[in-house]
Structure 1
Amino acid sequence: MNARTDAIRAGLGRGWIELRNSFTNVQDLWNYFFPTFVLLVAMFFMRGSTVPGTQFSLGARTLPSALAMGLAFGGLLGLAQQLIVDREDGTLLRAKATPNGMLGYLIGKLTMISAVTLIGVAIQLTPALFFLDGLRVAHAGAWLVLAGVMLLGLLATLPLGAVIGSLIENPRNMGVVVLPIMGLVALSGIFYPINGYPGWLQAVAQVFPLYWLGLGMRSALLPDAMSAVELGGSWRHLETVGVLGVWAVLGLLLAPVVLRRMARRESGSRVALRREKALRRPV
Protein backbone atom coordinates (compact mmCIF):
# COMPACT_ATOMS: atom_id res chain seq x y z
CA MET A 1 0.00 0.00 0.00
CA ASN A 2 1.57 3.33 -1.07
CA ALA A 3 1.51 6.71 0.65
CA ARG A 4 -1.20 8.09 -1.63
CA THR A 5 -3.55 5.22 -0.81
CA ASP A 6 -2.85 5.74 2.89
CA ALA A 7 -3.71 9.43 2.49
CA ILE A 8 -7.00 8.59 0.77
CA ARG A 9 -7.94 6.14 3.52
CA ALA A 10 -7.00 8.69 6.18
CA GLY A 11 -9.05 11.34 4.39
CA LEU A 12 -12.13 9.12 4.26
CA GLY A 13 -11.76 8.37 7.95
CA ARG A 14 -11.29 12.05 8.75
CA GLY A 15 -14.38 12.96 6.75
CA TRP A 16 -16.60 10.52 8.64
CA ILE A 17 -15.20 11.68 11.99
CA GLU A 18 -15.93 15.32 11.10
CA LEU A 19 -19.42 14.34 9.95
CA ARG A 20 -20.12 12.55 13.21
CA ASN A 21 -18.79 15.45 15.25
CA SER A 22 -20.91 17.94 13.31
CA PHE A 23 -24.05 16.17 14.52
CA THR A 24 -23.03 16.86 18.12
CA ASN A 25 -22.53 20.58 17.46
CA VAL A 26 -25.56 22.77 18.19
CA GLN A 27 -24.62 25.42 15.61
CA ASP A 28 -24.13 22.81 12.89
CA LEU A 29 -27.46 21.19 13.73
CA TRP A 30 -29.14 24.59 13.53
CA ASN A 31 -27.58 25.17 10.11
CA TYR A 32 -28.82 21.77 8.92
CA PHE A 33 -32.37 21.88 10.20
CA PHE A 34 -33.51 25.50 10.32
CA PRO A 35 -33.29 26.26 6.56
CA THR A 36 -34.96 22.91 5.89
CA PHE A 37 -37.76 23.77 8.31
CA VAL A 38 -38.32 27.15 6.64
CA LEU A 39 -38.51 25.58 3.17
CA LEU A 40 -40.88 22.85 4.37
CA VAL A 41 -43.20 25.45 5.91
CA ALA A 42 -43.14 27.45 2.68
CA MET A 43 -43.99 24.35 0.61
CA PHE A 44 -46.73 23.36 3.05
CA PHE A 45 -48.50 26.67 2.47
CA MET A 46 -47.81 26.52 -1.28
CA ARG A 47 -49.37 23.07 -1.64
CA GLY A 48 -52.84 24.55 -2.24
CA SER A 49 -51.63 26.79 -5.08
CA THR A 50 -51.18 25.43 -8.58
CA VAL A 51 -48.59 25.83 -11.31
CA PRO A 52 -50.06 28.25 -13.91
CA GLY A 53 -51.95 26.40 -16.61
CA THR A 54 -52.12 23.16 -14.63
CA GLN A 55 -53.85 21.61 -11.63
CA PHE A 56 -50.55 20.47 -10.14
CA SER A 57 -49.50 21.69 -6.70
CA LEU A 58 -46.97 24.52 -6.74
CA GLY A 59 -45.58 23.16 -3.46
CA ALA A 60 -44.89 19.75 -5.02
CA ARG A 61 -43.29 21.44 -8.02
CA THR A 62 -41.07 23.48 -5.68
CA LEU A 63 -39.77 20.48 -3.70
CA PRO A 64 -37.29 19.06 -6.26
CA SER A 65 -36.11 22.59 -7.08
CA ALA A 66 -35.47 23.26 -3.38
CA LEU A 67 -33.54 20.00 -3.13
CA ALA A 68 -31.38 21.19 -6.04
CA MET A 69 -30.80 24.51 -4.27
CA GLY A 70 -29.64 22.72 -1.12
CA LEU A 71 -27.29 20.52 -3.12
CA ALA A 72 -25.83 23.52 -4.96
CA PHE A 73 -25.37 25.47 -1.74
CA GLY A 74 -23.62 22.50 -0.12
CA GLY A 75 -21.28 22.03 -3.07
CA LEU A 76 -20.51 25.68 -3.77
CA LEU A 77 -20.60 27.26 -0.31
CA GLY A 78 -20.04 24.38 2.09
CA LEU A 79 -16.59 23.42 0.82
CA ALA A 80 -15.62 27.05 0.22
CA GLN A 81 -16.40 28.00 3.83
CA GLN A 82 -14.45 25.04 5.16
CA LEU A 83 -11.37 25.96 3.12
CA ILE A 84 -11.51 29.61 4.11
CA VAL A 85 -11.86 28.90 7.84
CA ASP A 86 -9.12 26.24 7.79
CA ARG A 87 -6.75 28.62 6.03
CA GLU A 88 -7.30 31.28 8.67
CA ASP A 89 -6.72 29.03 11.69
CA GLY A 90 -3.70 27.19 10.24
CA THR A 91 -5.34 23.79 9.68
CA LEU A 92 -4.51 23.92 5.99
CA LEU A 93 -0.87 24.78 6.68
CA ARG A 94 -0.54 21.79 9.01
CA ALA A 95 -2.02 19.54 6.33
CA LYS A 96 0.44 20.93 3.79
CA ALA A 97 3.37 20.09 6.09
CA THR A 98 2.39 16.39 6.18
CA PRO A 99 3.34 14.04 3.32
CA ASN A 100 0.23 13.76 1.10
CA GLY A 101 -1.54 15.77 3.79
CA MET A 102 -3.34 18.02 1.31
CA LEU A 103 -4.75 14.99 -0.50
CA GLY A 104 -6.03 13.50 2.76
CA TYR A 105 -7.41 16.88 3.82
CA LEU A 106 -9.33 17.36 0.57
CA ILE A 107 -10.68 13.80 0.56
CA GLY A 108 -11.89 14.34 4.12
CA LYS A 109 -13.62 17.61 3.28
CA LEU A 110 -15.21 16.18 0.12
CA THR A 111 -16.48 13.19 2.09
CA MET A 112 -17.94 15.33 4.86
CA ILE A 113 -19.53 17.96 2.60
CA SER A 114 -21.00 15.35 0.24
CA ALA A 115 -22.47 13.37 3.15
CA VAL A 116 -23.91 16.49 4.80
CA THR A 117 -25.46 17.59 1.50
CA LEU A 118 -27.06 14.20 0.82
CA ILE A 119 -28.32 13.95 4.40
CA GLY A 120 -29.84 17.41 3.97
CA VAL A 121 -31.69 16.19 0.87
CA ALA A 122 -33.07 13.24 2.86
CA ILE A 123 -34.10 15.46 5.79
CA GLN A 124 -36.06 17.71 3.45
CA LEU A 125 -37.50 15.05 1.16
CA THR A 126 -38.79 12.61 3.80
CA PRO A 127 -41.31 14.83 5.65
CA ALA A 128 -42.39 16.53 2.41
CA LEU A 129 -43.65 13.20 1.07
CA PHE A 130 -46.34 13.19 3.77
CA PHE A 131 -48.07 16.42 2.72
CA LEU A 132 -47.21 16.86 -0.98
CA ASP A 133 -49.11 14.83 -3.57
CA GLY A 134 -48.28 13.92 -7.16
CA LEU A 135 -44.60 13.05 -6.75
CA ARG A 136 -43.27 9.99 -8.60
CA VAL A 137 -41.94 8.32 -5.46
CA ALA A 138 -43.38 4.90 -6.36
CA HIS A 139 -41.26 4.61 -9.53
CA ALA A 140 -37.84 2.96 -9.20
CA GLY A 141 -36.67 4.85 -12.29
CA ALA A 142 -37.39 8.16 -10.55
CA TRP A 143 -34.97 7.30 -7.75
CA LEU A 144 -32.29 6.24 -10.22
CA VAL A 145 -32.60 9.55 -12.10
CA LEU A 146 -32.56 11.42 -8.79
CA ALA A 147 -29.38 9.64 -7.68
CA GLY A 148 -27.71 10.31 -11.04
CA VAL A 149 -28.59 14.00 -10.99
CA MET A 150 -27.34 14.39 -7.42
CA LEU A 151 -24.04 12.70 -8.25
CA LEU A 152 -23.54 14.83 -11.35
CA GLY A 153 -24.58 17.91 -9.39
CA LEU A 154 -21.94 17.27 -6.74
CA LEU A 155 -19.31 16.76 -9.45
CA ALA A 156 -20.37 20.07 -11.01
CA THR A 157 -20.40 22.12 -7.80
CA LEU A 158 -17.79 20.75 -5.38
CA PRO A 159 -14.76 21.64 -7.58
CA LEU A 160 -16.19 25.14 -8.02
CA GLY A 161 -16.57 25.38 -4.25
CA ALA A 162 -12.90 24.45 -3.90
CA VAL A 163 -11.96 27.20 -6.37
CA ILE A 164 -14.03 29.77 -4.48
CA GLY A 165 -12.50 28.74 -1.16
CA SER A 166 -9.00 28.99 -2.63
CA LEU A 167 -9.53 32.53 -3.93
CA ILE A 168 -11.07 34.07 -0.79
CA GLU A 169 -8.91 34.41 2.33
CA ASN A 170 -11.24 36.23 4.71
CA PRO A 171 -14.44 34.45 5.88
CA ARG A 172 -16.13 37.84 6.09
CA ASN A 173 -15.79 38.21 2.33
CA MET A 174 -18.14 35.28 1.66
CA GLY A 175 -20.89 37.79 0.97
CA VAL A 176 -19.13 38.48 -2.34
CA VAL A 177 -20.07 34.92 -3.33
CA VAL A 178 -23.34 34.43 -1.44
CA LEU A 179 -25.13 37.40 -2.97
CA PRO A 180 -24.54 36.37 -6.62
CA ILE A 181 -25.60 32.80 -5.80
CA MET A 182 -28.82 34.08 -4.23
CA GLY A 183 -29.37 36.07 -7.41
CA LEU A 184 -28.96 32.87 -9.44
CA VAL A 185 -31.51 31.16 -7.18
CA ALA A 186 -34.01 33.87 -8.09
CA LEU A 187 -33.23 33.42 -11.80
CA SER A 188 -33.16 29.64 -11.87
CA GLY A 189 -36.82 28.74 -11.39
CA ILE A 190 -36.42 27.33 -7.88
CA PHE A 191 -39.72 28.72 -6.63
CA TYR A 192 -41.48 29.58 -9.88
CA PRO A 193 -41.14 28.60 -13.57
CA ILE A 194 -38.92 30.97 -15.56
CA ASN A 195 -41.06 30.87 -18.73
CA GLY A 196 -42.30 34.38 -18.04
CA TYR A 197 -38.82 35.87 -17.79
CA PRO A 198 -37.38 37.90 -20.68
CA GLY A 199 -35.40 35.78 -23.11
CA TRP A 200 -32.04 37.19 -22.06
CA LEU A 201 -32.71 36.31 -18.40
CA GLN A 202 -33.69 32.79 -19.42
CA ALA A 203 -30.41 32.52 -21.32
CA VAL A 204 -28.40 33.71 -18.30
CA ALA A 205 -30.13 31.20 -16.00
CA GLN A 206 -29.31 28.34 -18.38
CA VAL A 207 -25.59 29.10 -18.38
CA PHE A 208 -25.18 28.09 -14.74
CA PRO A 209 -25.59 24.65 -13.14
CA LEU A 210 -28.32 25.61 -10.64
CA TYR A 211 -31.08 25.76 -13.29
CA TRP A 212 -30.09 22.36 -14.70
CA LEU A 213 -29.88 20.81 -11.26
CA GLY A 214 -33.43 21.95 -10.60
CA LEU A 215 -34.61 20.70 -13.98
CA GLY A 216 -32.97 17.32 -13.44
CA MET A 217 -34.52 16.96 -9.98
CA ARG A 218 -37.93 17.90 -11.36
CA SER A 219 -37.58 15.36 -14.17
CA ALA A 220 -36.99 12.67 -11.54
CA LEU A 221 -39.79 13.49 -9.09
CA LEU A 222 -42.55 15.15 -11.14
CA PRO A 223 -44.99 13.51 -13.57
CA ASP A 224 -44.04 13.61 -17.25
CA ALA A 225 -46.97 15.93 -17.95
CA MET A 226 -45.25 18.67 -15.92
CA SER A 227 -42.51 18.93 -18.54
CA ALA A 228 -44.99 20.99 -20.57
CA VAL A 229 -44.40 24.02 -18.29
CA GLU A 230 -40.62 23.85 -18.71
CA LEU A 231 -38.65 25.72 -21.34
CA GLY A 232 -38.92 23.81 -24.60
CA GLY A 233 -41.82 21.74 -23.24
CA SER A 234 -39.55 18.82 -22.23
CA TRP A 235 -37.17 17.69 -19.50
CA ARG A 236 -34.17 18.03 -21.86
CA HIS A 237 -32.22 15.17 -20.28
CA LEU A 238 -29.34 15.34 -22.76
CA GLU A 239 -28.90 19.08 -22.23
CA THR A 240 -28.99 18.59 -18.45
CA VAL A 241 -26.25 15.96 -18.58
CA GLY A 242 -24.28 18.04 -21.07
CA VAL A 243 -24.29 21.34 -19.14
CA LEU A 244 -23.65 19.75 -15.74
CA GLY A 245 -20.94 17.61 -17.35
CA VAL A 246 -19.24 20.67 -18.82
CA TRP A 247 -19.24 22.40 -15.43
CA ALA A 248 -17.88 19.24 -13.80
CA VAL A 249 -15.03 18.99 -16.32
CA LEU A 250 -14.18 22.69 -16.03
CA GLY A 251 -14.18 22.49 -12.25
CA LEU A 252 -12.07 19.33 -12.14
CA LEU A 253 -9.53 20.91 -14.49
CA LEU A 254 -9.41 24.27 -12.71
CA ALA A 255 -9.64 23.23 -9.06
CA PRO A 256 -6.31 21.31 -8.82
CA VAL A 257 -4.44 24.23 -10.40
CA VAL A 258 -5.97 26.81 -8.06
CA LEU A 259 -5.59 24.57 -5.00
CA ARG A 260 -1.89 23.92 -5.71
CA ARG A 261 -1.29 27.64 -6.18
CA MET A 262 -3.08 28.42 -2.91
CA ALA A 263 -1.18 25.69 -1.01
CA ARG A 264 2.19 26.97 -2.28
CA ARG A 265 1.41 30.43 -0.97
CA GLU A 266 0.49 29.24 2.53
CA SER A 267 3.14 29.90 5.17
CA GLY A 268 3.41 30.42 8.88
CA SER A 269 3.81 34.16 8.43
CA ARG A 270 0.61 34.42 6.37
CA VAL A 271 -1.33 32.46 8.99
CA ALA A 272 0.10 34.67 11.75
CA LEU A 273 -0.83 37.80 9.81
CA ARG A 274 -4.41 36.62 9.29
CA ARG A 275 -4.68 35.69 12.97
CA GLU A 276 -3.40 39.13 13.98
CA LYS A 277 -5.98 40.81 11.73
CA ALA A 278 -8.73 38.63 13.18
CA LEU A 279 -7.76 39.68 16.73
CA ARG A 280 -7.96 43.33 15.73
CA ARG A 281 -11.52 43.05 14.47
CA PRO A 282 -14.15 44.61 16.75
CA VAL A 283 -16.18 42.04 18.67
Structure 2
Amino acid sequence: MNPRAVAVRAGLSRAGIEFRQSVTNAQDLWGVLFLPVVSLVVMYMLRHNTVPGTGFSLGSQAVPGILAANVVLTGTTALALSLTLDREDGTLLRAKATPNGMIGYLVGRVVGRAGTAAAGVLIPLLPAAPLFGGLELGRVSTWVTLAWVLALGLLAVLPFGAILGSLFNSAQGMGVITLPMMLLMGISGVFYPIGGFPEWLQWTAQAFPIYWLGLGMRSAMLPDALAAAEVGQSWRHLETAGVLGVWAVAGFALAPLVLRRMARRESGSAVAARREKAMQRPM
Protein backbone atom coordinates (compact mmCIF):
# COMPACT_ATOMS: atom_id res chain seq x y z
CA MET A 1 0.00 0.00 0.00
CA ASN A 2 1.13 3.54 -0.76
CA PRO A 3 2.97 4.96 2.30
CA ARG A 4 1.09 8.26 2.01
CA ALA A 5 -2.22 6.42 2.01
CA VAL A 6 -1.15 4.58 5.16
CA ALA A 7 -0.27 7.91 6.77
CA VAL A 8 -3.65 9.36 5.83
CA ARG A 9 -5.43 6.33 7.29
CA ALA A 10 -3.43 6.70 10.48
CA GLY A 11 -4.34 10.38 10.58
CA LEU A 12 -8.04 9.61 10.18
CA SER A 13 -7.81 7.07 12.98
CA ARG A 14 -6.13 9.69 15.17
CA ALA A 15 -8.83 12.20 14.27
CA GLY A 16 -11.52 9.78 15.45
CA ILE A 17 -9.73 9.25 18.75
CA GLU A 18 -9.20 12.98 19.32
CA PHE A 19 -12.82 13.75 18.44
CA ARG A 20 -14.14 11.18 20.93
CA GLN A 21 -11.83 12.57 23.60
CA SER A 22 -13.01 16.13 22.90
CA VAL A 23 -16.73 15.39 23.13
CA THR A 24 -16.41 13.15 26.20
CA ASN A 25 -14.03 15.34 28.19
CA ALA A 26 -15.94 18.01 30.16
CA GLN A 27 -13.12 20.57 29.99
CA ASP A 28 -12.58 20.21 26.24
CA LEU A 29 -16.31 20.23 25.55
CA TRP A 30 -16.81 23.38 27.61
CA GLY A 31 -13.99 25.04 25.68
CA VAL A 32 -15.90 24.40 22.44
CA LEU A 33 -19.31 25.41 23.84
CA PHE A 34 -18.32 28.39 25.99
CA LEU A 35 -18.74 31.06 23.30
CA PRO A 36 -22.09 29.86 21.91
CA VAL A 37 -23.56 29.20 25.36
CA VAL A 38 -22.65 32.63 26.73
CA SER A 39 -23.66 34.41 23.52
CA LEU A 40 -26.98 32.58 23.27
CA VAL A 41 -27.80 33.44 26.88
CA VAL A 42 -27.18 37.13 26.12
CA MET A 43 -29.26 37.01 22.93
CA TYR A 44 -32.08 35.19 24.76
CA MET A 45 -32.34 38.22 27.04
CA LEU A 46 -32.68 40.36 23.89
CA ARG A 47 -35.21 38.07 22.22
CA HIS A 48 -37.96 40.69 22.47
CA ASN A 49 -35.92 43.18 20.43
CA THR A 50 -36.56 42.97 16.71
CA VAL A 51 -34.48 43.12 13.53
CA PRO A 52 -34.82 46.65 12.08
CA GLY A 53 -37.67 46.86 9.59
CA THR A 54 -39.18 43.52 10.65
CA GLY A 55 -41.05 41.99 13.55
CA PHE A 56 -38.56 39.11 13.81
CA SER A 57 -36.67 38.52 17.07
CA LEU A 58 -33.11 39.85 17.05
CA GLY A 59 -32.13 36.98 19.35
CA SER A 60 -33.34 34.37 16.85
CA GLN A 61 -31.67 36.21 13.98
CA ALA A 62 -28.33 36.08 15.81
CA VAL A 63 -28.33 32.31 16.47
CA PRO A 64 -26.84 31.23 13.09
CA GLY A 65 -24.17 33.94 13.23
CA ILE A 66 -23.12 32.91 16.74
CA LEU A 67 -22.74 29.30 15.62
CA ALA A 68 -20.78 30.44 12.55
CA ALA A 69 -18.42 32.48 14.74
CA ASN A 70 -17.82 29.40 16.88
CA VAL A 71 -16.88 27.43 13.75
CA VAL A 72 -14.35 30.09 12.79
CA LEU A 73 -12.83 30.26 16.28
CA THR A 74 -12.65 26.47 16.56
CA GLY A 75 -11.19 26.12 13.09
CA THR A 76 -8.56 28.84 13.49
CA THR A 77 -7.68 29.75 17.07
CA ALA A 78 -8.26 26.32 18.61
CA LEU A 79 -6.39 24.51 15.81
CA ALA A 80 -3.53 27.03 15.98
CA LEU A 81 -3.28 26.56 19.75
CA SER A 82 -3.15 22.77 19.33
CA LEU A 83 -0.29 23.04 16.85
CA THR A 84 1.57 25.49 19.09
CA LEU A 85 1.28 23.23 22.13
CA ASP A 86 2.44 20.24 20.07
CA ARG A 87 5.52 22.20 19.04
CA GLU A 88 6.27 22.99 22.68
CA ASP A 89 6.05 19.41 23.98
CA GLY A 90 7.87 17.76 21.04
CA THR A 91 4.86 16.01 19.48
CA LEU A 92 5.48 17.75 16.17
CA LEU A 93 9.17 16.83 16.22
CA ARG A 94 8.29 13.16 16.73
CA ALA A 95 5.86 13.34 13.81
CA LYS A 96 8.58 14.88 11.66
CA ALA A 97 10.99 12.07 12.55
CA THR A 98 8.48 9.40 11.43
CA PRO A 99 8.24 8.59 7.70
CA ASN A 100 5.20 10.50 6.39
CA GLY A 101 4.46 11.34 10.01
CA MET A 102 3.66 14.98 9.24
CA ILE A 103 0.95 13.89 6.80
CA GLY A 104 -0.70 11.67 9.39
CA TYR A 105 -0.31 14.30 12.08
CA LEU A 106 -1.89 17.11 10.05
CA VAL A 107 -4.74 14.93 8.76
CA GLY A 108 -5.50 13.90 12.33
CA ARG A 109 -5.40 17.42 13.70
CA VAL A 110 -7.39 19.04 10.89
CA VAL A 111 -10.08 16.36 10.54
CA GLY A 112 -10.44 16.05 14.31
CA ARG A 113 -10.85 19.82 14.65
CA ALA A 114 -13.39 19.84 11.80
CA GLY A 115 -15.48 17.25 13.65
CA THR A 116 -15.27 19.28 16.85
CA ALA A 117 -16.36 22.42 14.99
CA ALA A 118 -19.37 20.59 13.55
CA ALA A 119 -20.27 19.39 17.04
CA GLY A 120 -19.97 23.00 18.21
CA VAL A 121 -22.80 23.83 15.80
CA LEU A 122 -25.14 20.90 16.39
CA ILE A 123 -24.92 20.61 20.19
CA PRO A 124 -25.92 24.24 20.97
CA LEU A 125 -28.55 24.11 18.23
CA LEU A 126 -30.53 21.45 20.10
CA PRO A 127 -31.46 23.68 23.08
CA ALA A 128 -31.55 26.84 20.93
CA ALA A 129 -34.30 25.52 18.65
CA PRO A 130 -37.08 25.52 21.30
CA LEU A 131 -35.79 28.65 23.05
CA PHE A 132 -35.61 30.89 19.98
CA GLY A 133 -38.74 31.01 17.88
CA GLY A 134 -38.62 31.34 14.12
CA LEU A 135 -35.74 28.96 13.35
CA GLU A 136 -36.87 26.80 10.43
CA LEU A 137 -35.13 23.51 11.14
CA GLY A 138 -37.83 21.20 9.81
CA ARG A 139 -37.06 21.79 6.13
CA VAL A 140 -34.86 19.46 4.10
CA SER A 141 -33.38 22.53 2.39
CA THR A 142 -32.24 23.80 5.79
CA TRP A 143 -29.95 20.85 6.36
CA VAL A 144 -28.75 20.68 2.75
CA THR A 145 -27.74 24.35 2.84
CA LEU A 146 -26.25 23.99 6.32
CA ALA A 147 -24.17 21.01 5.15
CA TRP A 148 -22.56 22.69 2.13
CA VAL A 149 -22.04 26.03 3.90
CA LEU A 150 -20.44 24.35 6.93
CA ALA A 151 -18.23 22.12 4.76
CA LEU A 152 -17.05 25.01 2.59
CA GLY A 153 -16.60 27.25 5.64
CA LEU A 154 -14.35 24.67 7.30
CA LEU A 155 -12.28 24.36 4.13
CA ALA A 156 -11.90 28.15 4.18
CA VAL A 157 -10.79 28.55 7.80
CA LEU A 158 -8.91 25.37 8.77
CA PRO A 159 -5.83 26.04 6.60
CA PHE A 160 -5.44 29.44 8.23
CA GLY A 161 -5.67 27.83 11.65
CA ALA A 162 -2.72 25.66 10.66
CA ILE A 163 -0.87 28.72 9.34
CA LEU A 164 -1.41 30.64 12.59
CA GLY A 165 -0.17 27.64 14.57
CA SER A 166 3.01 27.69 12.49
CA LEU A 167 3.73 31.35 13.17
CA PHE A 168 3.75 31.32 16.98
CA ASN A 169 6.37 29.58 19.09
CA SER A 170 4.36 29.54 22.32
CA ALA A 171 0.78 29.36 23.52
CA GLN A 172 1.18 32.75 25.18
CA GLY A 173 2.03 34.30 21.83
CA MET A 174 -1.36 33.23 20.53
CA GLY A 175 -2.96 35.87 22.74
CA VAL A 176 -2.21 38.59 20.18
CA ILE A 177 -4.86 37.26 17.80
CA THR A 178 -7.68 37.22 20.36
CA LEU A 179 -8.55 40.93 20.12
CA PRO A 180 -8.55 41.03 16.28
CA MET A 181 -10.83 37.97 16.24
CA MET A 182 -13.26 39.59 18.68
CA LEU A 183 -13.29 42.80 16.63
CA LEU A 184 -13.94 40.80 13.47
CA MET A 185 -16.87 39.06 15.13
CA GLY A 186 -18.28 42.43 16.13
CA ILE A 187 -18.34 43.83 12.57
CA SER A 188 -19.36 40.63 10.77
CA GLY A 189 -23.07 40.56 11.57
CA VAL A 190 -22.80 37.91 14.27
CA PHE A 191 -25.01 39.82 16.71
CA TYR A 192 -26.57 42.50 14.52
CA PRO A 193 -27.17 42.92 10.75
CA ILE A 194 -24.32 44.85 9.15
CA GLY A 195 -26.72 46.86 6.95
CA GLY A 196 -26.78 49.55 9.65
CA PHE A 197 -22.97 49.90 9.68
CA PRO A 198 -21.00 52.48 7.65
CA GLU A 199 -20.38 51.33 4.10
CA TRP A 200 -16.62 51.01 4.55
CA LEU A 201 -17.20 48.73 7.55
CA GLN A 202 -19.62 46.61 5.53
CA TRP A 203 -16.96 46.09 2.85
CA THR A 204 -14.38 45.23 5.50
CA ALA A 205 -16.67 42.59 7.02
CA GLN A 206 -17.40 41.06 3.61
CA ALA A 207 -13.69 40.52 2.96
CA PHE A 208 -13.53 37.78 5.63
CA PRO A 209 -15.08 34.31 5.75
CA ILE A 210 -16.85 34.79 9.10
CA TYR A 211 -19.44 37.09 7.50
CA TRP A 212 -20.14 34.72 4.62
CA LEU A 213 -20.29 31.65 6.84
CA GLY A 214 -22.80 33.48 9.05
CA LEU A 215 -24.81 34.62 6.03
CA GLY A 216 -24.96 31.09 4.65
CA MET A 217 -26.08 29.67 7.98
CA ARG A 218 -28.73 32.38 8.34
CA SER A 219 -30.03 31.48 4.88
CA ALA A 220 -30.36 27.87 6.04
CA MET A 221 -32.10 28.48 9.36
CA LEU A 222 -34.12 31.68 8.98
CA PRO A 223 -37.26 32.48 6.97
CA ASP A 224 -36.62 33.76 3.44
CA ALA A 225 -38.24 37.09 4.36
CA LEU A 226 -35.25 37.85 6.62
CA ALA A 227 -33.05 38.20 3.53
CA ALA A 228 -34.42 41.75 3.34
CA ALA A 229 -32.27 42.63 6.37
CA GLU A 230 -29.06 41.54 4.61
CA VAL A 231 -26.77 43.49 2.32
CA GLY A 232 -28.33 43.39 -1.15
CA GLN A 233 -31.62 42.09 0.33
CA SER A 234 -30.60 38.59 -0.71
CA TRP A 235 -28.97 35.48 0.76
CA ARG A 236 -26.37 35.62 -2.04
CA HIS A 237 -25.60 31.92 -2.15
CA LEU A 238 -23.40 32.27 -5.25
CA GLU A 239 -21.28 34.97 -3.63
CA THR A 240 -21.07 32.94 -0.41
CA ALA A 241 -19.72 29.93 -2.28
CA GLY A 242 -17.35 32.13 -4.28
CA VAL A 243 -15.77 34.00 -1.36
CA LEU A 244 -15.45 30.92 0.85
CA GLY A 245 -14.02 29.05 -2.13
CA VAL A 246 -11.40 31.75 -2.73
CA TRP A 247 -10.35 31.63 0.94
CA ALA A 248 -10.15 27.83 0.78
CA VAL A 249 -7.97 27.87 -2.37
CA ALA A 250 -5.70 30.55 -0.90
CA GLY A 251 -5.40 28.67 2.39
CA PHE A 252 -4.57 25.33 0.80
CA ALA A 253 -2.02 27.01 -1.46
CA LEU A 254 -0.29 28.87 1.38
CA ALA A 255 -0.55 26.39 4.27
CA PRO A 256 1.78 23.69 2.82
CA LEU A 257 4.52 26.30 2.25
CA VAL A 258 4.28 27.66 5.78
CA LEU A 259 4.02 24.21 7.35
CA ARG A 260 7.05 22.89 5.46
CA ARG A 261 9.06 25.89 6.60
CA MET A 262 7.96 25.29 10.18
CA ALA A 263 8.82 21.59 10.00
CA ARG A 264 12.33 22.32 8.69
CA ARG A 265 13.00 24.52 11.71
CA GLU A 266 11.92 21.90 14.25
CA SER A 267 14.80 20.30 16.14
CA GLY A 268 15.59 18.82 19.52
CA SER A 269 17.37 21.99 20.60
CA ALA A 270 14.38 24.14 19.59
CA VAL A 271 12.00 21.94 21.61
CA ALA A 272 14.35 22.03 24.61
CA ALA A 273 14.55 25.83 24.41
CA ARG A 274 10.76 26.11 24.36
CA ARG A 275 10.44 23.79 27.34
CA GLU A 276 12.98 25.82 29.30
CA LYS A 277 11.18 29.02 28.43
CA ALA A 278 7.84 27.50 29.44
CA MET A 279 9.28 26.43 32.81
CA GLN A 280 10.32 30.03 33.48
CA ARG A 281 6.83 31.45 32.97
CA PRO A 282 5.23 32.86 36.13
CA MET A 283 2.50 30.63 37.48
User: How high is the TM-score relative to the length of structure 1?
Assistant: 0.97
Could you tell me which residue of structure 1 aligns to residue 94 of structure 2?
94
Q: Do 2:22 and 2:116's aligned partners in 1 also have CA atoms closer than 8 Å?
A: no
**d(CA) in 1 for partners of 2:4 and 2:261?**
20
Q: Does 1:128 find its partner at 2:128?
A: yes
Separation in structure 2 between the aligned mates of residue 26 and residue 73 of structure 1, nearest angstrom: 19
TM-score (norm 2): 0.97
Residue 282 of structure 1 aligns with an amino acid whose one-letter code is P
Aligned to 1:159: 159
Asked whether the 8 Å contact 2:35–2:70 carries over to 1, the reply is: no
Structure 2: stretches of 5+ with no match in the other structure: none
Q: Which residue of 2 aligns with 1:12?
A: 12
Return the alpha-carbon distance in structure 2 between the equivalents of residues 2 and 92 of structure 1.
23
Tell me the distance in 2 between the aligned counterparts of 1:281 and 1:175.
15
Per-residue deviation, 1:282: 1.5
- What's 1:261 paired with? 261
Q: Would you say the 8 A contact 2:80–2:165 is kept in 1? A: yes
Taking the aligned partners of 2:20 and 2:154, their CA distance within structure 1 comes to 21
Contact 2:36 2:67 in 1 (8 A): no
How has the CA–CA distance of structure 1 residues 29 and 138 changed in structure 2, closer, same or farther, with 3 Å as cutoff?
closer
Is 2:156–2:247's contact at 8 Å kept on the other side of the alignment? yes
Distance 1:32 1:162 in 2: 18
Which residue of 2 is the match for residue 238 of structure 1? 238
Pair 1:146–1:24, CA change in 2 (3 A): closer
Local SS of the residue matching 2:196: coil
The alpha-carbon deviation at position 151 of structure 1 amounts to 0.2
**1:208 corresponds to 2:208:** yes
Count of aligned pairs: 283
Q: Tell me if structure 1 keeps the 8 A contact 2:50–2:57.
A: yes
Q: Give the 5 Å matches for 1:1-283.
A: 1-283=1-283
CA deviations over 1:198-220 (Å, ceiling 9, x no partner):
11111111111111111111111
Aligned partners of 2:88 and 2:274 also within 8 Å: yes
| Cα displacement (A) at 1:30 | 2.5
How far, CA to CA, are the matches of 2:245 and 2:211 in structure 1?
14
In the alignment, the residues of structure 2 paired with residue 204 and residue 109 of structure 1 have an alpha-carbon distance, to the nearest angstrom, of 30
Residues 140-171 of structure 1 show CA distances to partners (whole Å, capped at 9, x for unaligned) of 01110111000000000000111111111111
**Percentage of identical aligned residues:** 58
Q: Where do 5+ consecutive residues of structure 1 fail to align?
A: none
| Cα separation, 2, equivalents of 1:72 and 1:96 | 28
| Alpha-carbon offset, residue 45 of structure 1 | 1.6
Could you say what the CA RMSD is over the residues aligned between the two structures, in angstroms?
Answer: 1.1
